[in-house]
Amino acid sequence: MSIPALIVQYWPRLLAGLALTVEITIISLILAGILGMVFGLLSVSKRKGLRAIALVYVDIVRGTPLLVQAFFIYFGIPAALGIQSDPVVSGVITLSLNAGGYLAEIVRGGIESISRGQMEAARSLGLPYGMAMRSVILPQAIRTMTPALINQCIITLKDTSLLSVIGVTELTQTGRLIIANNYQSFEVWAIVAVMYFIIIMILSKISKRIERKMSYGKSKN
């Protein structure tokens, strides 16, 4: 069967797999953004205990493979607690925790890239630490962090393919199931690869456009 014929026949399944991929990516990134902001702020806290908590979380995430994290969350924790786990929920949790660790480092780096004089000036004007961070430091840091944040979005989208090993029927798993029916590996993987390529290229173009706008804003300042 030719590639156009495969696309016509399996397009609804491929589209459903792609939709689940995008859905998991969006939900995971929202949760990861919250985790990244919280632990990123903890990592620059003046309290050693809070910095230690952030350090442990980031080191665990960065020090273990995503695949092992997925197995631990989907198989390990349910086995220890004697419960059943949903593959999609486990996948979202895995990606959220993983991306959250990297986003925490991005947030930390963005905050530390801002001169300490900015915080000192804000505090000298009577602003509390939290308000100074929210109103003065973070708006500047976000501009610095934007390229890395978008890059992490692309990485997380690609990482969804690893969730096929725990049974999540995202785009990669859908491709595997289709191949199990027709044994046309080359054609099916070519279609899947092109679908990933199109989505990632769209995100890359958006990233470059945002970067140009941010750079333009800097030049005007």
Q: How many Cα neighbours within 13 Å face the side chain of 56?
A: 6
Q: Percent of the chain having pLDDT more than 70? A: 96
Average pLDDT rounded to a whole number, residues 117-144: 79
- Looking at the predicted structure, is the pLDDT value of residue 213 above 80? no
What is the pTM (predicted TM-score) of this model?
Answer: 0.87
| Per-residue confidence (pLDDT) for residue 216, from 0 to 100 | 60
* Mean pLDDT over the full length of the chain: 89
- Looking at the predicted structure, is the pLDDT value of residue 207 above 90? no
| Per-residue confidence (pLDDT) for residue 215, from 0 to 100 | 65
Going from N- to C-terminal start, the domains of the chain cover 3-220
pLDDT tier at 31 (50, 70, 90 boundaries)? very high
Higher pLDDT, 196 or 128: 196
Higher pLDDT, 27 or 111: 27
What is d(CA 198, CA 202) in angstroms, rounded to the nearest whole number?
A: 6
pLDDT tier at 50 (50, 70, 90 boundaries)? very high
Average pLDDT rounded to a whole number, residues 32-55: 92
Burial 178-212 (b: 16+ CB within 10 A, else e): bbeeeebeebbeebbeebbeebeeebeeebeeeee
pLDDT tier at 29 (50, 70, 90 boundaries)? very high
| Per-residue confidence (pLDDT) for residue 119, from 0 to 100 | 77
| Measured CA angle at 167 (ends 166, 171), to 5 deg | 115
Higher pLDDT, 52 or 45: 52
| Measured CA angle at 107 (ends 106, 109), to 5 deg | 65
| Per-residue confidence (pLDDT) for residue 56, from 0 to 100 | 96
Class of domain 3-220: mainly alpha
Backbone angles phi, psi at 110, to 5 degrees: -65, -40
pLDDT tier at 43 (50, 70, 90 boundaries)? very high
Lookup: tokens for 92: 């979202």
DSSP conformation letters of 21-44: HHHHHHHHHHHHHHHHHHHHHHHT
| 52-78 residue pLDDT tens | 999 999 999 999 999 999 999 999 999
